[in-house]
Amino acid sequence: MTQAHTNDLNQPATKGFVREEIQQAKQDLTHKMGETVKQVLDSKLIGFRDELTEWKSEILTSNDKISKKLDQVLTEQKAITVNYQRVDQRVDRLEEFARQAAPKLDLEFEKAS
């Protein structure tokens, strides 16, 4: 048997020729499938990327709002703490005054707990 060439279809094919053709067909099919899969994935991923970008934007915007509220709460908490310390100091001074004045006025003094 003689080896058939790709343009000589009237000649018998050899095992080697068939193997080469099968290998080439596999490579061509793999390449074409790869391109098709890539095109399908790219078309699907474009929408997903856009959606993901939108979600990311929404999350960041939400986090900005939360961060601003947290800043407000922390600022208010600082002001409340300072005010509480002032009230606490005033109560301490008034209790001391009452403790010292109670015996002079014949009163019993009980310190608040």
Q: What percent of the chain has pLDDT over 70?
A: 90
Give the mean model confidence (pLDDT) for residues 38-48: 84
Q: What is the pLDDT of residue 72?
A: 96
Q: What is the rounded CA–CA span in Å between residue 74 and residue 93?
A: 28
**Stronger pLDDT, 2 or 16, i.e. the higher one:** 16
| Residue with tokens 């939108």, as numbered in its chain | 54
pLDDT of residue 8 exceeding 70: no
- Tokens for 64? 């900005």
**Stronger pLDDT, 28 or 68, i.e. the higher one:** 68
**Stronger pLDDT, 67 or 26, i.e. the higher one:** 67
| Residue with tokens 């606490």, as numbered in its chain | 88
Reported as a single tens digit per residue, the pLDDT across 60-94 is: 999 999 999 999 999 999 999 999 999 999 999 99
Global pTM? 0.44
Q: What is the rounded CA–CA span in Å between residue 56 and residue 112?
A: 54
Q: What is the pLDDT of residue 89?
A: 95
Give the mean model confidence (pLDDT) for residues 95-102: 88
- Of the candidates 90, 109, 92, 91, the one whose C-alpha atom is nearest the C-alpha of residue 100 is 109
